């Protein structure tokens, strides 16, 4: 058992490293793009971009309807379903994609209260939706732990997008045209995902079968709830701010938030790499999966705690150097948000543990409680402290959600084990 556990952990670390290195390069490219966009077009256009990213990400969930996590879990146990299930889902999701794009664009324009945002909104919402469809195509590779293939494609499309965007900025293109370079990159990523799926698992047997797709959507309903609550929660601060504050304030908060996305790369990749392994180990041993989760949590804390300390100390300098002096006012929000790193990192592992032991309904209820707390807190804190209040609402809600996950896991005897207990289990 110990040898098997060590093998599993080595595979997790290898996958996490592959994802981390490649995603690090990809996110660096994306981050350079966003910084260039923010410096060139100012905080107001940055607000349009950020609100469109939030609206597009949430709308994209109503296209996939939670199927990604369901497919990863089921494909990790039986890859023979790939061609059939994707063939049923993709035509229906393609139709939903068009509807989601139009709705997300309209919501973005309404939130910012400026029709001039429509060009950026159309592009960024399309980007989010195409990217989510590519994620559906990548589920068999994630389930089969082919992380290197996904990582290489991820780096390639992000670097291409960066180069195309920088060329557009250099030749004086407007914010809307520059935003469309994201769509070009996403389409390339989708095409590569389709080719990889075809070469490894056979071409999806595409057919119009809305009733069968509906059956899969019903199976994925708990996952949709989890994903929807998570996305609304993650993007909620920008959305609430856009409804209450000025576009300039939204742009400042977006700078701090976007920097946190880059910093959260390492914990995010570890969580992605651990999920398939937790699902597989949970199927054979509750004791083993508790020990594996415990070791993963300890590794997560070792990664995120030093990052939180460093970013708290150097927040003003980091914001000033990266985004420019006009964005230095975002530093206090960054100092608050940086402490969500260890909290959200551990939270993501506990959430994966809940799904692995078939507690997705409890996870969805916990997500709903966290979202409810955030919705109640964020307007009050924003009115009191401005955009820093949004950061405070995120931190408080993240902390409450972490403890909720832990309480559920303790109740079902699936909480992570540490120290001697974990070593004995392995």
Q: Check: CB of residue 112 under 8 Å from CB of residue 48.
A: yes
Supply the range of the domain harboring residue 276: 2-425
pLDDT digits (tens, 9 = 90+) for 334-379: 999 999 999 988 988 898 888 888 887 788 788 888 888 988 888 9
Higher pLDDT: 67 or 422? It is 67
Contacts of range 306-314, beta carbons closer than 8 Å, 24 or more positions apart: 307/263, 307/266, 307/338, 307/341, 308/338, 308/339, 308/341, 308/342, 311/263, 311/335, 311/338, 311/341, 312/338, 312/339
Q: Which of 3-12, 83-92, 140-149, 310-319 has the lowest mean pLDDT?
A: 3-12
Q: Which of the 8 DSSP states describes residue 414?
A: -
| pLDDT value of residue 7 | 52
pLDDT at 366: 86
Is pLDDT at 194 greater than 50 in this prediction? yes
Per-residue confidence at 219, pLDDT binned at 50, 70, 90? confident
Residue whose entry in the numeric block shows the structure tokens 């100092």 = 335
SS (H, E, C) 53-75: HHHHHHHHHHHHCCHHHHHHHHH
Q: How many CB atoms lie within 10 A of CB 225?
A: 18
Return the higher-pLDDT residue of 179 and 153: 179
Structure tokens at 289: 């999966």
User: Based on the number of CB atoms within 10 Å of its own CB, is 324 exposed (0-12), middle (13-18) or buried (19 or more)?
Assistant: middle
pLDDT of residue 186: 92
Burial class (CB in 10 A: 0-12, 13-18, 19+), 418: middle
CB 151 within 8 A of CB 14: no
Handedness of CA 9, 15, 19, 22 (dihedral sign): positive
pLDDT recorded at residue 285? 80
Is 140's pLDDT higher than 90? no
Residue 95, pLDDT score: 92
Q: pTM for the complete prediction?
A: 0.70
Given this model, what pLDDT does residue 11 score? 57
Tokens of 209: 């079968």
Q: Which residues contact 359 (CB under 8 A, 6 or more apart)?
A: 408, 409, 412, 414
pLDDT for 2 beyond 90 = no
What is residue 125's predicted lDDT score, i.e. its pLDDT? 95
Q: What is the DSSP string of 73-97?
A: HHHTT-GGGHHHHHHHHHHHHHHHH
Mean pLDDT for the chain overall: 83
Q: Which residue has the higher pLDDT, 261 or 94?
A: 94
Per-residue pLDDT tens digits for 293-346: 888 889 889 988 998 999 999 998 888 888 888 888 889 999 999 999 999 889
Mean pLDDT of 402-417: 89
- pLDDT-derived band at 426 (thresholds 50, 70, 90) equals very low
The answer on pLDDT for 123 being more than 90 is yes
pLDDT of residue 424: 47
Q: pLDDT grade, residue 419 (50/70/90)?
A: low
Instruction: Indicate the burial class of 21 (C-beta count within 10 angstroms; 0-12, 13-18, 19 or more).
Output: middle
| Mean per-residue pLDDT, 69-81 | 76
Cβ atoms of 408 and 362 closer than 8 Å: yes
Please count the structural domains in the chain.
1
The pLDDT of residue 255: 86
Which has the higher per-residue pLDDT, 342 or 21? 342
pLDDT at 8 over 60: no
Say how many C-beta atoms besides its own lie within 10 A of residue 99's C-beta.
13
**Closest alpha carbon to 71 in 63, 79, 60, 61:** 79
Q: Where would I find the H helices in 145-264?
A: 147-170, 175-201, 210-219, 221-244, 247-263
Question: pLDDT (tens digit, 9 = 90+) per residue, 378-393?
Answer: 899 988 888 889 899 9
Whether the pLDDT of residue 265 is over 90: the answer is no
C-alpha span between 209 and 153 (Å, rounded): 30
Find the helix packing angle between 221-244 and 2-64, rounded to 10°: 60
Average pLDDT over residues 66-93: 80
What is the spatial distance between Cα 159 and Cα 32, in angstroms, rounded to a whole number?
A: 10
Average of per-residue pLDDT across 234-239? 80
Cα–Cα distances in angstroms (integers) from residue 381 to residues 83, 388, 390, in the given order: 48, 8, 7
pLDDT at 184 over 50: yes
Task: Inform me whether the pLDDT recorded for 97 exceeds 90.
Answer: yes
């Amino acid at each position: 058992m110990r040898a098997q556990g060590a093998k599993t952990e080595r595979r997790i670390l290898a996958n996490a490293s592959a994802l981390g290195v490649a995603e690090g390069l990809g996110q660096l490219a994306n981050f350079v793009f966003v910084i260039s966009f923010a410096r060139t077009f100012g905080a107001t256009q940055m607000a349009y971009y950020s609100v469109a990213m939030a609206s597009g990400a949430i709308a994209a969930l109503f296209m996939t309807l939670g199927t990604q996590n369901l497919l990863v879990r089921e494909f990790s146990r039986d890859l023979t379903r790939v061609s059939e299930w994707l063939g049923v889902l993709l035509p229906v999701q393609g139709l939903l994609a068009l509807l989601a794009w139009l709705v997300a664009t309209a919501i973005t324009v309404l939130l910012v209260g400026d029709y001039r945002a429509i060009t950026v909104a159309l592009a960024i919402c399309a980007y989010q939706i195409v990217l989510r469809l590519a994620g559906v195509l990548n589920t068999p590779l994630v389930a089969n732990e082919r992380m290197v293939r996904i990582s290489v494609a991820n780096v390639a499309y992000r670097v291409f997008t960066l180069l195309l965007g920088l060329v557009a900025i250099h030749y004086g293109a407007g914010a809307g045209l520059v935003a469309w370079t994201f769509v070009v990159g996403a389409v390339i990523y989708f095409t590569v995902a389709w080719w990889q799926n075809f070469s490894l698992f056979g071409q999806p047997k595409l057919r119009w079968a809305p009733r069968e797709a509906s059956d899969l959507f019903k199976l994925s309903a708990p996952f949709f709830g989890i994903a929807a609550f998570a996305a609304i929660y993650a993007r909620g601060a920008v959305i609430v701010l856009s409804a209450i504050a000025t576009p300039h304030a939204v742009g400042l908060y977006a700078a701090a938030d976007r920097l946190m996305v880059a910093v959260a790369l390492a914990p995010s990749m570890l969580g992605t790499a651990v999920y398939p392994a937790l699902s597989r180990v949970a199927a054979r041993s509750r004791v083993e999966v508790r020990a594996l989760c415990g070791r993963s949590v300890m590794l997560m804390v070792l990664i995120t705690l030093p990052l939180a300390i460093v970013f708290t100390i150097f927040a003003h300098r980091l914001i000033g150097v990266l985004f420019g002096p006009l964005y230095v006012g975002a530093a206090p929000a960054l100092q608050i948000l940086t402490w969500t790193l260890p909290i959200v990192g551990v939270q993501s592992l506990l959430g994966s543990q809940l799904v692995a032991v078939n507690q997705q309904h409890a996870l969805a209820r916990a997500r709903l409680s966290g979202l409810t707390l955030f919705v109640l807190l964020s307007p009050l804190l924003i009115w009191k402290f401005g955009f820093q209040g949004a950061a405070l609402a995120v931190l408080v809600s993240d902390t409450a959600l972490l403890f909720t996950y832990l309480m559920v896991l303790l109740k079902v005897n699936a909480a992570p084990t540490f120290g001697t207990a974990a070593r004995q289990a392995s």
